[in-house]
Structure 1
Amino acid sequence: MNGDAVKLTVTTHKLFGYRQTLRTAQRLADQAGRLVERSVPGRMPNVQITLTTARGMAALATAADADLAGLSDRRARARAERAAHKVARGAAGRAVPLADGGVLVLVNIEQHRTPDDFAVTLVHELVHAMQFSRRGVRERIVRDLRDGFGVEKQSRREAREHMRLLSAEENEAYGREYLAQQLTSTAA
């Protein structure tokens, strides 16, 4: 990483007894950040990696999405959190852009049995963090969130374009997961 320009921090949210997992995550996060920054176009923003459960992942992601979209309606927020919880049960991780320009990477600790599993998820989500720094990506995500929350409608063309680009970004992230093998080989 470029010295003090980028900050990668690892924390937990409502997890107890995972001190060793937290230490492993901190070690892998630094290595993963350097690896992803070298191999993916874009600029690595400040990243907050949070280890949590599915319920915590849904709550934190919804809060970050609502802040980014400028949503203040509590009922819409609660509805979104219930929907997010259904998705989070099967999700290993999620990267969420933050209103301050940083990125929140949420890792569902229940989905990771080994450091190898964690490394793959970490690399995948850090690739998304790099993508958020690209021109127009953050604005497109905000527009889609505002539409999803019912704040401001986007056109069908914009919605289709967002889904097409989202699919391409997801493919790029899956394509870079091989980098995780370098992490786990150095960690061993």
Structure 2
Amino acid sequence: MKITVNTHKLFGHRATLRTAKQLAEPAARLVNRSVPGRMPDVQITLTNPRGLAELATTAEAELAGGVDKRVRDREERHAAREARDVAGRAVPLMDGSVLVLINVDQNASPGEFAITLVHELVHAMQFSRKGVRERIIRDRRDAFKVERQSRRHAREHERGLADEEREAYSREYLADQIVPGANAA
């Protein structure tokens, strides 16, 4: 398990980067102990909403393989609309590692940042479970119009996403162990 923290298209946030580096290792250890699965290598990238959409779409297009440029641009525009309201996002990468994108505009305090980090690291752990990565790849291939998935697989993916989100929200209390009072607000 290797954790790296960097920024993308983000200027003047040295203190935020320093805070992220301080919180990343303890958060990864806590999540690794309390969530079933294996923590993969994680690359945490702090960015703005536009950078979040750009990086997530690029990683997902690579995961889907053979993506048409027009479809990719359409998906990026859709992701950019959603990214304004998203605090973070975890995307599996082809090499087995996970890209965790954090929107600094949505995480104003260290407590909020710790909650988002724990939530996204839980998703990183979930990607290591049997069948999850394959299900996500199948869904991304369908979203990028590379290969259609059956309705049964689409329903299975939606149920899996709902279960994974429930689990990630249920583990956010761990942020209190990193930043005391994080969940108080």
TM-score (norm 1): 0.95
SS at match of 1:106: strand
Matched length: 182
Matches within 5 A, 1:68-79: 68-79=63-74
Compute the displacement of 1:71 (Å). Answer: 3.2
> Of 114, 122, 125, which aligns to 1:119?
114
Deviates more, 1:64-73 or 1:35-44: 64-73
1:9 is aligned, of 4, 13, 17, to: 4
| 2:35 corresponds to 1:44 | no
2:94 to 94, 99, 107: 99
Task: Write out per-residue CA displacement over residues 95-128 of structure 1, whole angstroms, 9 at most, x where no aligned residue.
Answer: 0000111000000000011000000000000000
**Contact kept? 2:90, 2:120, Cα under 8 Å:** yes
- Letter of the aligned partner of 1:184 in structure 2? V
1:167 equivalenced with 2:162 (yes/no): yes
1:185, distance to aligned residue in structure 2 (A): 2.4
For structure 1, the 5+ residue unaligned runs are 1-5
Percent same amino acid among aligned pairs? 67
- Long gaps (5+) in structure 2: none
1:15-164 equivalences under 5 Å are 15-164=10-159
Shift of 1:88: 0.5
Paired residues of 2:67 and 2:144 also in contact (CA < 8 A): no
Rounded to whole Å, the distance in 1 between the matches of 2:117 and 2:156 is 27
RMSD of Structure 2 on Structure 1 (CA):
1.2
Match of 1:150, SS state, is: coil
Equivalent residue letter for 1:180: A
| Ranges of 4+ aligned residues in structure 1 off by more than 3 Å | none
Q: Is the 8 A contact 2:111 2:181 kept in 1?
A: no
